[in-house]
Amino acid sequence: MATLAAQAIGLNKYFGGGFDYRRLVPWRRNGDGKHGPFQVLHDVSFEIRRGEIFGLLGANGSGKSTLVRIMSTLLLPDSGEARIFGMDVVEHSAQVRALINRVSADPSFFRNMSAVENLLFFGRVYGLSPAEIRQRLPGILERLGFEWERALEPMSHLSRGQQQKIAVARSFLTSPVLMLLDEPTTGLDPRSKRDVQAFVRQARAEHDSTILLTTHDMEEAELLCDRIAFIAGGRIVAEGTPLELRERVARGRPVAEITMEMVFMELTGKSIEEDEERDQEREEVMTHA
């Protein structure tokens, strides 16, 4: 049995650069310099061991979500490989999909359907019977601090935090062996954030799940992750346990005084806010891709 839950091997991904009809217009023939191919992942490699929580830290637009979408089989890499339990996500996408689930920053539900109706659908498409879903659901919702009665209301009536808890419930409902948590606590109030973080730790401990957590929240990464990789400009710039990363930049200072934000700045050469400026350029390319 594979001891590696996931691997990225030299992944590269470009957006844009295809046929652009705007260039048929004479005065735009040379383009505006914004629509050429834009490399969002540069030779990205890492390994996630079975049972660990692996954090991928980076600013918005650093390539975190692109990586998660490749792992989720929703995006094809231009070169390199991504493997889940030894299976290539491109060649064996059907098998890989049965092993994974995902929480994204945006809860993404059928807004006018109730939480239960949504969870029934998303459970069913993972092969669960309605009886299995109804049996598992109350326990999961209770642990997330979610009242059952509210689960019968349309999703549009729920707060952002409540919707995100349902998103977490959706992903754990199918007992995935690899969970892709893409900024799962973004926009949540402190209490909801703590509920979700506690549930992630508990679920990992009880279900032997492996978790890939992407975040730009340094505290969250340190709290939850066994190992962390920093990604900036589509490149992995450092990888290790939180302690190893802090030691790497300590240079004689007490390690306890080194925050993960300081580590990020030292290893990437900029703060997470500065790195986010690149996001705007990438978004423009994505819009025109």
Partner 1 sequence: MLNTEARTAQPGLLGGPIGLGYAFVERQTNLWKRYWAWELVWLVYGVVNTLAITFIAEEAENAGIAGADGAAGLVLFLLLGTLVWAYLSAVLDDISLVITWERWEGTIEHTLMAPVSRAVHLIGMSVFGVLHAIVRTLLIFAFAIPFFSVELGQADWFAAAVVIAVGSVSVAGLGILTGVLPLLYPERGTQMSFMLQAVVLLVSGVYYSVDVLPDWLRVFAYISPATYILDGIRGAIIDGRGVADLWDTLLALVAFGAVLVPGGIAVFAVAERWARKTGQLKRQG
Please name the amino acid found at residue 204.
R
Extract the tokens encoding 105: 């920053």
Q: How far is the CB of 190 from partner 1 (least distance, A)?
A: 25
Extract the tokens encoding 194: 């703590």
Q: 89, 68 in Cβ contact below 8 A?
A: no
Closer residue to partner 1 in complex, CB, 44/75: 75
Residues 83-112 that bind partner 1 (CB under 8 A): 85, 94-95, 97-100, 102, 104, 106, 108-112
Q: Is 127 in the site for partner 1 (CB under 8 A)?
A: yes
Q: How far is the CB of 74 from partner 1 (least distance, A)?
A: 5
Please name the amino acid found at residue 213.
L
Q: Is 50 in the site for partner 1 (CB under 8 A)?
A: yes
Q: Is 4 in the site for partner 1 (CB under 8 A)?
A: no
Q: Is 117 in the site for partner 1 (CB under 8 A)?
A: yes
Residues 41 and 14: their CA atoms lie apart, in Å, by 7
Residues 218-257 that bind partner 1 (CB under 8 A): none
- Which member of 23, 28, 49, 74 binds partner 1 (CB under 8 A)? 74
- Which member of 73, 162, 185, 214 binds partner 1 (CB under 8 A)? 73
Contacts of 44 (CB under 8 A, 6+ apart): 8, 10, 11, 12, 63, 67, 80, 231, 234, 235, 236
Residues 41 and 66: their CA atoms lie apart, in Å, by 8
The CA distances from residue 198 to 144, 163, 203, 204, in Å, are: 8, 17, 9, 10
Residues 196 and 180: their CA atoms lie apart, in Å, by 14
- Which member of 23, 124, 191, 201 binds partner 1 (CB under 8 A)? 124
Binding site for partner 1 (CB under 8 A): 1-2, 15, 18, 50, 69, 72-76, 85, 94-95, 97-100, 102, 104, 106, 108-113, 117, 120-122, 124-127, 129, 154, 170, 177, 208, 286, 289
